Amino acid sequence: MAQGWLMVMTLVKAKDKGKGIMAEPEPPKKLKKMVQIQMSVDEELARKIQEENQARAIAEQEHEMINLEAALEIQRQYDERQEVATEPTQIQDID
């Protein structure tokens, strides 16, 4: 009897060409409450880190602007001194 059943199974497998009934995929299992809490904590932490990085980037840009303005002022003062030093001095003849 076991052989007859085995033959029926092998015959059924041989006839099956993948045209069976399409099975619906199982809906995703609901997340447990602790996993949901952890995900929300992770999202909040990621948001805070992103905000800190943005604030740091803005502060660095402001610091660079201050340094650039200071460098431009120093360059302006240097250029003025160079102009004064290269101007020909007028010598007045005293008679």
Estimate to the nearest angstrom the gap between the alpha carbon of 88 and the chain centroid: 58
- The number of angstroms, rounded, from the C-alpha of 46 to the middle of its chain's C-alpha atoms is 11
pLDDT number for residue 1: 47
Give the model confidence (pLDDT) of 6-54 as tens digits.
455 555 555 556 666 667 777 666 667 788 888 899 999 999 999 999 9
Residue pLDDT, tens place only, 47-95: 999 999 999 999 999 999 999 999 999 999 999 998 887 776 665 656 5
Cα 64–chain centre separation: 22
Burial of 43 (0-12, 13-18, 19+ CB in 10 A): exposed
Tell me the two tokens of residue 82.
């160079």
